[in-house]
């Protein structure tokens, strides 16, 4: 069993690698018009292997553009080419040296002011959700989900899915035991988030923010560690891509 200090360091290292990966995605212009979502997903997969030797991703790789950004994680919309003025989000779970990262970022092509406002709101609402978590020692997953929904509504967006986060740790994540709702930030998750797991170790959490504008037909996504690494990446989480 890993010592807690080693677990924390490994989770933070995995997230730093994921942040570097998506910085490079932007630098190489992989999010570009006329490329298919699956094509871009495969290019990011290959880049993760090139940069870090990543062989596994603990959940399905997601690249979604335009109206596909309205869909929550569990859905599988048809592959779509990226448009010249699209908003695009990526949700990846690369495994770095046996440790899970779960990282989501959004890119905007073009100059649509509403899409750029959503892009700016994603890390802002993430940070507000994190502050809400930090100031409530006994907060439950259900309470944090409700807070994120309120933050989204206050900013003029709908919330896009049934979850706002989950546990994270050593691969494989699928070993989560028991009543799984308690391991997610979602309605019905009533245990305190600050607790220990079945092995007596502190639980560590991912926070995910999925904002959507259903009338205009698009959304965006931002995801990273909730209770570790405060200030390391969320403040620089906005991404833009030009076509």
Q: Where are the domains of the chain?
A: 4-236
CB atoms within 10 A of CB 24: 15
Report helix, strand or coil for 32.
Answer: coil
- Beta bridge partners, 108, equal 87
- pLDDT over 70, % of the chain: 89
- Beta bridge partners, 92, equal 103
Q: What is the pLDDT of residue 78?
A: 96
Q: What is the pLDDT of residue 112?
A: 98
Q: Mean of the pLDDT values across residues 58-74?
A: 94
Burial of 84 (0-12, 13-18, 19+ CB in 10 A): exposed
Q: What is the pLDDT of residue 58?
A: 81
Q: Given pLDDT bands bounded at 50, 70 and 90, which one contains residue 56?
A: confident
CA gap 17, 34 in Å, rounded:
28
Side-chain-facing half-sphere of 150: CA atoms under 13 Å = 9
Residue given tokens 């507000």 in the structure block: 128
Q: What is the pLDDT of residues 113-160, one digit of tens each?
A: 999 999 999 999 999 999 999 999 999 999 999 999 999 999 999 999
**pLDDT exceeds cutoff 90 at 236:** no
Q: Mean of the pLDDT values across residues 84-103?
A: 92
- Beta bridge partners, 36, equal 81
Q: What is the pLDDT of residues 161-172, one digit of tens each?
A: 999 999 887 654
Q: Mean of the pLDDT values across residues 26-54?
A: 96
**Which pTM value belongs to this model?**
0.90
**What φ, ψ does residue 70 adopt, rounded to 5°?**
-75, -20
**CATH architecture assignment, domain 4-236:** Alpha-Beta Complex (3.90)
Q: What is the pLDDT of residues 172-195, one digit of tens each?
A: 455 555 568 999 999 999 999 999
Q: Is the dihedral of CA 49, 53, 56, 61 positive or negative?
A: negative
* Token reading at 142: 């259900």
């Amino acid at each position: 069993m890993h010592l807690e200090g080693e677990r924390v360091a490994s989770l933070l290292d995995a997230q730093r690698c994921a942040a570097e990966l998506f910085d490079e995605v932007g630098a190489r212009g992989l999010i570009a018009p006329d490329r298919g979502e699956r094509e871009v997903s495969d290019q990011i997969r290959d880049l993760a292997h090139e940069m870090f030797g990543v062989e596994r991703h603990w959940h399905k790789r997601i690249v979604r553009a335009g109206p596909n950004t309205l869909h929550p994680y569990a859905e599988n919309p048809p592959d779509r080419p990226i448009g010249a003025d699209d908003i695009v989000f990526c949700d990846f779970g690369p495994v770095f040296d046996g440790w899970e990262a779960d990282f989501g970022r959004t890119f905007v092509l073009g100059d649509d002011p509403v899409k750029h406002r959503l892009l700016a709101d994603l890390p802002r609402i993430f940070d507000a959700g994190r502050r809400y978590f930090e100031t409530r020692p006994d907060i439950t997953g259900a309470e944090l989900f409700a807070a994120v929904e309120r933050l989204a509504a206050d900013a003029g967006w709908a919330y896009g899915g049934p979850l706002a986060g989950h546990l994270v740790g050593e691969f494989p994540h699928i070993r989560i035991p028991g009543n799984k709702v308690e391991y997610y930030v979602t309605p019905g998750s009533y245990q305190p988030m600050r607790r220990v797991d079945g092995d007596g170790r502190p639980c560590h959490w991912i926070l995910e923010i999925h904002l959507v504008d259903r009338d205009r037909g698009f959304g965006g996504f931002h995801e990273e560690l909730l209770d570790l690494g405060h200030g390391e990446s969320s403040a620089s989480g906005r991404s833009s891509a030009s076509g």
